[in-house]
Structure formats: structure tokens, C-alpha cells
Amino acid sequence: MALYEKSVKLLFRDMIKDLAIQKGEVIERDKINSWFKTKYPLIKPGTISAHMLKLSTNAPSRIHYNVDSNGKKDDLFFSD
């Protein structure tokens, strides 16, 4: 059962728009966690971390997630 009207994946897209993150810009993990804690406090930190892995194109453990490799819908971040 979903905690909010949108999935966490879609909320990450909202966060990118809300924080006006541009391609190539570096965003700290703390800033992501803070955004979710402020706007969507019911989402657990572990869920946020898992989604960061899934949505990071170069994360080695991404292979363990059901990533949309055809449409590239899950290619939001590049992990440093």
C-alpha cells in the first residue's frame, strides 16, 4: 500500500524539479534526505537509499533492482 499518492520514483522526479537540479549538478545525499523528510516524512531512509541506487546509472548494485533499461526512465543520477 502506497504511503502517498505518487510512487517514490515519481517523488524523486518532483524533487529534481523542486530543487531545480540541473544535469551535471552535484547533489548531496543529505539534501535528498532532507527534502524527503520535510515533504514526505513517512518514507523511510532505507527506501530513499534504495531508490538512489536504482536511479543512479553507474551504481554497481543497481543490477539487483528492476530497472527500466529500455526507456531509460530510471537514469536520473550519476553516482560519484
- Residue 58 domain flag: yes
* Count of structural domains, the chain: 1
Per-residue pLDDT at 70: 72
3-class secondary structure for the chain? CCCCCCCHHHHHHHHHHHCCCCCCCCCCHHHHHHHHHHHCCCCCHHHHHHHHHHCECCCHHHHHCCCCCCCCCCCCECCC
Per-residue pLDDT at 72: 78
Q: Where in the sequence is the domain holding 39, given as residue range(s)?
A: 8-64
- Chain segment 31-78, per-residue pLDDT in tens: 999 999 999 999 999 999 999 999 999 998 888 888 877 767 889 999
- Residue 71 domain flag: no
Kindly report the pTM of this predicted structure.
0.88
Per-residue pLDDT at 18: 97
Rounded CA separation 3/5 (Å)? 7
Per-residue pLDDT at 65: 87
